[in-house]
Amino acid sequence: MNNQPFLYFRGLRKSDHTVFVVSDGQKKYFDPVFRVNVPYSSGQQVKRQIIESLLRILNREPAPVTFYFDAPKLQEREVITPADPNYIDQLIGGWMVSLKGGETKTLKRRSPLSISALHPLHPLLSGLNNESITFDRSDRPHIHKVIVRNENGEILSEEEINKLLAGSDRSLSRKWIPDNTRATGLFVYDIAIDLRTLFCVSTNKLEPEITPATEENLRNQGWIETKNSFGKCLLAPKTIRDQIINALAKALINWRITSNQSRTFSLMENIAIAISDNANKIAFSIRAELSDATDRPTAIPVIDETSGAYLFLTPLVSSIIPGFSGSADALDKAEQFLINYLNSFDYEKQEFIN
């Protein structure tokens, strides 16, 4: 590695017949090159799962959030966080606090982690399928109650219900569940870590990240005054940095999307991980290539050990790419590599330690 203050990370995962957490069906987008719809999970969702994993490892609570509404229609307004890096999810996840009226300065801290969506390795290596699902209790009609109301909200009698059903094969003890799209395939996610701001909070008064009160509090807690590429800043003490580095390395690898549907659980197991200080190298190392072995376009996954990135392959790699075999401790080695790299940066002098 060239010891650049950026670290790039790519993870390859396999998902089977699952739904990424959504409130309105599986997310998808249209690929204009191969003209197919492909499933994805947003970068915001991936970020949230990584942060939640980080908090769980450290056994810490997230920062409190205050929701503002305007009466009488309860219109949604500001969502305010403390803008305090003492909260791990704020330090790693960033914040923007802007109060109504513009009488106070907006506080903004960009997250030191830039996170992509969990998207297909290639549009032809993922798929969407639908299944018909019902909530069916028609086998025990003597137990389950059916209530039918008219347009005035009045409950119909059993005789009136039978008249409505006359000449129909409709069952009132069965409900069809709509929008049951499932995602399957090989997916990647990319993360860039900016070591310059990973543990630093700017003290710039013109474009503030924190309030004067928070700055004073951090100084009293032993945060170190230093500077990075963006100017003067406060740096988290080494004890805090060490805790976060160990937990962050684990969270980047072991996060999970917890589906909001218990019947669509998928392990979303890790197949390969690539790490480099060069974004191009991780793109080269885990990629897909078109195959001309068939009459129609098909794609095959590729692991390129000559790309220059550090690769960590689990035993599952042999199930999708012939000729490759991984190791059971690959994820542990990737985690330790991340810890060593993050520890090799001198956050106080903003340079790498030889």
Q: Domain extents for the chain? A: 6-63+78-131+180-349, 133-179
Q: What is the pLDDT of residue 292?
A: 80
Residue 326 has pLDDT above 80, yes or no: yes
Which of the four pLDDT bands, split at 50, 70 and 90, describes residue 74? confident
Six-digit token string for 32: 């204009």
User: Can you give 127-159 as a three-state secondary structure string?
Assistant: EEEECCEEEECCCCCCCCCCCCECCCCCECCHH
- Write down the H helix ranges in 59-131: 88-93
- pTM of this prediction? 0.87
Alpha-carbon distance of 158 to 75, in angstroms, equals 43
Whether residue 160 is predicted with pLDDT greater than 60 in this model: the reply is yes
Flag the least confident range among 187-191, 310-314, 322-326.
322-326
pLDDT at 7 over 90: yes
261, 319 in Cβ contact below 8 A?
Answer: no
Between these two residues, 296 and 248, which has the higher pLDDT value? Answer: 248
CA gap 13, 331 in Å, rounded: 13
Tens digit of pLDDT for each residue in 117-155? Answer: 999 999 999 988 877 676 777 777 778 788 888 888 888
Mean pLDDT over 236-257 rounds to: 95
Phi/psi-derived region of residue 183, left when phi > 0, alpha when psi is between -120 and 50, beta in every other case: beta
